[in-house]
Structure 1
């Protein structure tokens, strides 16, 4: 498996916000060493419009991308997963599916910008802060020497760079 990218699945409840941002970022900054996917427990009908706007603002194209269920990654034909990273406090207690590739499970808690209320400018600011926080996190991930790293060794590295708990601002 040396030389193959690490496949990382990011999960959040509805795959409309944090997991979409994480997937986009790691696919860009992972430089071929990582391949990211995203899914949700109960996917919403569409990606949050503030997420679309935030990612469009920094050059990401989400056309054709829709929220997906984590069930997409359960079958034998699904991509091999090396790590599954949950991004919401509520996901810590979720009964996760059994993935055939037996990935390591890591929890990182990021504040949900969808919970921020107020005028458009306040909400846009919350999504941009979330993007910035996640960008810093994905740069840490990209800095991991990942060639051949799997199993518990991978889990240890991912847990060591876990972000500090963020509160909704």
Structure 2
């Protein structure tokens, strides 16, 4: 797989063990990969387009719409890759065990080819929308742990 340009890195400290954070992270990833309406998925050329595998114990190759697991180290790291007509991207989640709590990192890399990609990047990255969405995902993980 070709390397992608770095976009950003966000993190959140969660007062829980990796054993508590890991299933919450997987549940959040699964929930964020809901299927868009058919025509939108086709127009965007979302890849992967469908859910595959058992997300309670994901393995390399499992997918939700827009993301596929490309590397996984249970309780430590999951790498997701995907794409659509305006972007190819990678999102890594890493858990750092800090003795009683976890620092959950989310690092994004992405390429935005062509004029459409540049416009899409301005709309999603330049507007701060991407930071808000990933930040919300990190908060969602924390809320699942607390529930």
Q: TM-score scaled to structure 2, two decimals? A: 0.30
Which structure has the highest strand share of the two?
2
